Amino acid sequence: MKKIGVLTSGGDAPGMNAAVRAVVRKAIYEGMEVAGIFNGYEGLIQGKIELLQLGSVGDIIQRGGTMLRSARSPEFMTEEGRQEALKQLKAHGIEGLVIIGGDGSFKGAAELVKLGVPCACVPATIDNDITGTQFTIGFDSALNTVIDAIDKIRDTATSHERTFIIEVMGRDAGDLALWSGLAGGAETILIPEVEYDLEDIITRLKSGSGRGKKHSIIVVAEGVMSGTALSDSLKREAGIETRVSVLGHIQRGGSPSARDRVIASQYGARAVEVLKEGKRGVAIGMQNHTVIDYDLAIVFKRSDTKKDEELYKLSKELSI
Amino acid sequence: MKKIGVLTSGGDAPGMNAAVRAVVRKAIYEGMEVAGIFNGYEGLIQGKIELLQLGSVGDIIQRGGTMLRSARSPEFMTEEGRQEALKQLKAHGIEGLVIIGGDGSFKGAAELVKLGVPCACVPATIDNDITGTQFTIGFDSALNTVIDAIDKIRDTATSHERTFIIEVMGRDAGDLALWSGLAGGAETILIPEVEYDLEDIITRLKSGSGRGKKHSIIVVAEGVMSGTALSDSLKREAGIETRVSVLGHIQRGGSPSARDRVIASQYGARAVEVLKEGKRGVAIGMQNHTVIDYDLAIVFKRSDTKKDEELYKLSKELSI
Amino acid sequence: MKKIGVLTSGGDAPGMNAAVRAVVRKAIYEGMEVAGIFNGYEGLIQGKIELLQLGSVGDIIQRGGTMLRSARSPEFMTEEGRQEALKQLKAHGIEGLVIIGGDGSFKGAAELVKLGVPCACVPATIDNDITGTQFTIGFDSALNTVIDAIDKIRDTATSHERTFIIEVMGRDAGDLALWSGLAGGAETILIPEVEYDLEDIITRLKSGSGRGKKHSIIVVAEGVMSGTALSDSLKREAGIETRVSVLGHIQRGGSPSARDRVIASQYGARAVEVLKEGKRGVAIGMQNHTVIDYDLAIVFKRSDTKKDEELYKLSKELSI
Amino acid sequence: MKKIGVLTSGGDAPGMNAAVRAVVRKAIYEGMEVAGIFNGYEGLIQGKIELLQLGSVGDIIQRGGTMLRSARSPEFMTEEGRQEALKQLKAHGIEGLVIIGGDGSFKGAAELVKLGVPCACVPATIDNDITGTQFTIGFDSALNTVIDAIDKIRDTATSHERTFIIEVMGRDAGDLALWSGLAGGAETILIPEVEYDLEDIITRLKSGSGRGKKHSIIVVAEGVMSGTALSDSLKREAGIETRVSVLGHIQRGGSPSARDRVIASQYGARAVEVLKEGKRGVAIGMQNHTVIDYDLAIVFKRSDTKKDEELYKLSKELSI
């Protein structure tokens, strides 16, 4: 393989730039050319493609967002769009692709694989919800952003003896809520994977309050319900007053954490290696502290994992 | 004066602890005793009062919130409540009070002054809206929290070429929105002191977009309208899509900035001095880089200042 | 087991407080009493022991350092000292101990195990150098502190087109230097596990400079040599001017990262469980994203691991 | 004036980029062209000059360092060098200059003024040591970096009951040491403006220790003596053990604080205004919360100010 392309797609995540940098540097190290495809699949169709050099990725390892930008592409959802993408790849002599993004982006890659384009997919999403890997790029950074927010809100919660509900991202996946709730010392954590029990939440709040504990932090993943809906329920069912903070988009941004920069570097470099080795449709990931690659098909067979249950159980035990 | 009391009241602000520390240490330095009054005026009425020592304020200069806690006190709004407070002060031998908080808290102090209690008021509110002082404790910390959030959101705005609306605190005062918007490089800033012009906002967004600038940051103070309301208007009037982020309670918390710790130390110490000097109803503040004290009455004659207009004009010129 | 003790020993590491919190809360959850032993083994000998409650560990999960404090104990190195420690444990009815610290602290635990005291050892050291576990508490936080410093220094390096040498902690272990160098985008990384080659460093600096790259970051673990010694060598051997920054003690402090808080919670809770299960001399750790416990003896058979070599190789490839 | 130039010179300071951005945007707002001069006076002599557009300064307000880079210029110290600089200015049609830097950079500007080049000087140095202005760009950011370091070191100092000496920048000016010491809750602060008294330091350390306070923070400005020298003195004269941390170059880097971004924006814009108004050799600064401009000659008549003494006195009173 003499020339590969790299693009970022889907919601941005801290560490995407570090992954792009690793792809570019590793490819050049391996004697390949690298083309940067701007604005995701949309830009691929439009031919927004530029050759990248070592200098193109200087001073970006520490930056949030993605220098290649990202975009939704309704056009790529169509057969015509994908044929256009294929034409562009051929026109630019790109023989393989590194796709950096979440599972939506991986689905696009799977379509390209069907059309004969070798793709290596690098998981980058703050939700940590890609089957087959223990960690995605961006999760650790988002986690640190969330606990920084929880620490700040705790100052007010303690000073005013109030209960705060903090709504964090996570439509289907509760990792961000669970880890941040545990790390933030939250008294109650609501995640999509476990049905919540309003009675239990009320009992816990009241028992804490009975013991003289007058402030409390509840972390709720947006996939369970909105912070406001939970606040309304607590007020209606038990007369409990709460304040709501919706963390929102700050969770996606910021300089990546050390760990995200390291795994982004590892994933990006491995993606180049697997293309060089002739693999055609693989995802990159981490298992047992070791970088792995595995069949893209595995990503789409989503299944719950047992580890979350242990962490969830722990969060309950420590928040007595 | 042999014994003074100190309390925090109103919304918490980073640096309140640094002010409490300064009051305690300065008072002990001057040979006085200091009583900590917990839970604001409510705690004063209830006699939640404890003698504080040097060790009581160890390791708190860097903490957000307030170790003395804060609370609303409807009871203190009544004559009976205030008489009860007076009784407690006498019972504990407290001859003067340092009140740390915003203008609501200062009104409470003014009532106590009428009853013969010498009070020195230390301005602590993230809104920076106390007449007579150029800076309040907490404003600089909140500002840094807001620009940290803007920097994070800019990562996503740039990566996805989107326009973001960021709603910050400030019901009547626009300092937080104005300073943070300027420091965050926002393209548009809406503050309560200046009537906004939706046409102008739309024109600016469209002209930027015409020049190839595809992302934009709008900072709006909550006192103007909610971020969601602004987003709806832009959509309805001009078909412009925006994302909204409401920063909320994170703005009140966190470790105080260096500057807030320094002015909190200065204000707290001066408050003790003015009580020692026999002053009875004064506010502490900063003018021309110098700590001042002035009649409490000045605080309640709110008036707009000219400097904001210059900063506002600057923000317009730099965001062409 | 009805009552256990917990102590922190050796150099402090961010996350120690989160581990103490987890020990206390889990023990109470399991119906046990917990005694806090202050000032490490020294305090154990002196009987600085207090019963801890849920409230004793409130609001500490986010704090650096250790609320139980730490100290060296020459006395505990003697047979008499250990007998005295044993007496104290009996006097306070403490039936098992959780020891939070590094391998030096674990050696102390091994001595107590010989005397019949069940001990569960929780690895907490920024060096990440405990055999048998992939991660120690504090490593991730220190890593983030180091990359924050590298990011800052890079600003100056770029602005002035200079080469900076950054000396980080790590006497025998290079993990902190390797990970931070990789995450910080360092051009050269020197770790104790790999013999360095001054010629190679000089060649790389000169080739970068030949390509127009006028600034460079070198990360060196203190165990290899001091930053100043390296700077002198580069000057003497090749006339290369460098600036040196010794990060020093800031690496040990600060609020723990999200990840350190989570593993500290997991390790602390597991330590209580293994004591309850009747184990007598075990270390707690992480393998394959799962909390494990293993014989304390394994810790003392230090051996190099293969993974570091891969990360080291990656760091070389990406810094062409 | 139709075209101005802008350069940064001397040690870099956080906020320089925000000042460059303001110069460029304000000049374009005023209908002028702006040339960026790279690598300071050295680059001016070498003609490293490029026209800057609005887009050239996009996304830099939050970055440390300086995009225009900085360098020493021995050549500019000579008459020939300055004549060469003059030629370049004429060749590029540059009619006025904005110089962003410290007093060394201002001296260069004064030479150019003598040769007929209108110059407006913007004070940017972390030392806050420019006569005529209450604040320089970079001081507030460096201050926050230093207190972040002090907060981290305090964790270890408290946990191990040790005394730490923290050496901060400041050869002739003690502002950084004094403000950071006060904000960091240091027990002892040594600044160049006040002769230190070793006896007094020892007495304070011993009295604190006598009261049961077993840890202590000493902040020393490098201009007084090195941290190591102080540590040796304390050991030799009083047998007091201390640890030393030299903060070094991290003090110059990092994203600028909100305040530094605001004053950089104000100063940069004013610099353009004064050139437009026809002024020829002025410095920009802040007095009484208001941006001012004043004769460059005032900068070179350095004199001590009274306010520092008050802050110094306060630091003594609060660290009893």
- How does residue C302 score in pLDDT terms, banded at 50, 70 and 90? low
ipTM, 2 dp: 0.95
User: Which of the other chains make 3 or more beta carbon contacts under 8 angstroms with chain D?
Assistant: B, C
Digit-coded pLDDT (tens) for C172-198? 999 999 999 999 999 999 999 999 999
In the predicted structure, residue C214 carries a pLDDT above the cut 90: no
How many CB atoms sit inside 10 A of residue B284's CB?
28
Minimum mean pLDDT range among B158-162, D165-169, D266-270: B158-162
Q: Which residues in chain C are closer than 8 Å to D246, comparing Cβ atoms?
A: 246, 248
Interface A–C counts its CB contacts (< 8 A) at 137
> Of the listed C12, C59, C127, C175, which one is catalytic?
C127
- Distance (Å, rounded) from C-alpha A62 to C-alpha A258? 9
Q: What percentage of chain C carries pLDDT values higher than 70?
A: 98
Question: Is D164 near chain C, with CB under 8 Å?
Answer: yes
Digit-coded pLDDT (tens) for A149-173? 999 999 999 999 999 999 999 999 9
Question: Is A28 near chain C, with CB under 8 Å?
Answer: yes
- Distance (Å, rounded) from C-alpha C209 to C-alpha C214? 5
How many CB atoms sit inside 10 A of residue A2's CB?
10
How many CB atoms sit inside 10 A of residue D200's CB?
11
Q: How far is D278 from chain C (nearest CA, A)?
A: 31
Average pLDDT (D193-210) is: 90
Q: Do domains A3-138+256-301 and A141-253 have the same CATH topology?
A: yes
CB C34 within 8 A of CB C64: no
Q: Which residues in chain A are closer than 8 Å to C144, comparing Cβ atoms?
A: 144, 257-258
Q: If one looks up domain C141-253 in CATH, what number appears?
A: 3.40.50.460
Per-residue pLDDT of chain B (320 residues; tens, 9 = 90+): 999 999 999 999 999 999 999 999 999 999 999 999 999 999 999 999 999 999 999 999 999 999 999 998 999 999 999 999 999 999 999 999 999 999 999 999 999 999 999 999 999 999 999 999 999 999 999 999 999 999 999 999 999 999 999 999 999 999 999 999 999 999 999 999 999 999 999 998 988 877 777 789 999 999 999 999 999 999 999 999 999 999 999 999 999 999 999 999 999 999 999 999 999 999 999 998 899 999 999 999 866 555 578 999 999 999 98
Listed in order, strand segments (DSSP E) in B12-162 are 33-37, 49-52, 96-101, 119-123
Chain C 254-313, residues with CB within 8 Å of chain A CB atoms: 255, 257-259, 261-262, 265-266, 269, 287-290, 307, 311
**H or E element, residue A115:** none
- Chain centroid to CA C133: 12
Average pLDDT (C76-87) is: 97
Chain B 54-113, residues with CB within 8 Å of chain A CB atoms: 63-66, 69-71
Across the beta sheet with A242-246, what order do the strands follow? A188-190, A216-221, A163-168, A242-246
Of residues C143, C170, C70, C121, the one with CA closest to residue C298: C121
Q: Which residues pair with A197 in a beta bridge?
A: none
- How does residue D307 score in pLDDT terms, banded at 50, 70 and 90? low
First to last CA, chain C: 57
Q: Is A62–C151 a contact, with Cβ atoms under 8 angstroms apart?
A: yes
- Distance (Å, rounded) from C-alpha D287 to C-alpha D123? 13
Q: Which residues in chain B are closer than 8 Å to D320, comparing Cβ atoms?
A: 25, 28-29, 54
The structural domains of chain D, with segments of one domain joined by +, span: 3-138+256-301, 141-253
In the predicted structure, residue A320 carries a pLDDT above the cut 90: no
How many CB atoms sit inside 10 A of residue A281's CB?
19
User: What CATH architecture is B3-138+256-301?
Assistant: 3-Layer(aba) Sandwich (3.40)
Question: Is A249 near chain B, with CB under 8 Å?
Answer: yes
Q: Is B215 annotated as a binding residue?
A: yes
Q: Which residues in chain B are closer than 8 Å to A12, comparing Cβ atoms?
A: 155-156, 159-160
Question: Is B137 near chain D, with CB under 8 Å?
Answer: no
Mean pLDDT, all residues of chain A: 95
Question: Is B228 near chain A, with CB under 8 Å?
Answer: no
Q: Is C144–A258 a contact, with Cβ atoms under 8 angstroms apart?
A: yes
Minimum mean pLDDT range among B223-232, B248-257, C80-89, D311-320: D311-320
- Chain centroid to CA C279: 24
Average pLDDT (C224-241) is: 97
Of residues C160, C166, C162, the one with CA closest to residue C181: C166
What's the burial of A288, exposed, middle or buried (CB within 10 Å: 0-12/13-18/19+)?
Answer: exposed
Digit-coded pLDDT (tens) for C16-39? 999 999 999 999 999 999 999 999
- How does residue C130 score in pLDDT terms, banded at 50, 70 and 90? very high
Average pLDDT (D77-95) is: 97
In the predicted structure, residue C54 carries a pLDDT above the cut 60: yes
Q: What percentage of chain A carries pLDDT values higher than 70?
A: 98
- How does residue C303 score in pLDDT terms, banded at 50, 70 and 90? low
The predicted pLDDT at position A207 comes to 84
Structure tokens of A108? 């696009």
Digit-coded pLDDT (tens) for C134-184? 999 999 999 999 999 999 999 999 999 999 999 999 999 999 999 999 999
Digit-coded pLDDT (tens) for D28-56? 999 999 999 999 999 999 999 999 999 99
Q: Closest partner residue to B249 among A12, A158, A243, by Cβ?
A: A243
CA geometry: angle B185, A63, D136, nearest 5 deg: 50
Q: Which residues in chain D are closer than 8 Å to C214, comparing Cβ atoms?
A: none
The predicted pLDDT at position B8 comes to 98
**H or E element, residue B54:** none
Q: b/e string for A16-52 if b means 16 or more Cβ within 10 A?
A: bbbbbbbbbbbbbbbebbbbbbbbbbbbbbbebbeeb
How many CB atoms sit inside 10 A of residue C115's CB?
12
The predicted pLDDT at position B211 comes to 77
Q: Is D317–B257 a contact, with Cβ atoms under 8 angstroms apart?
A: no
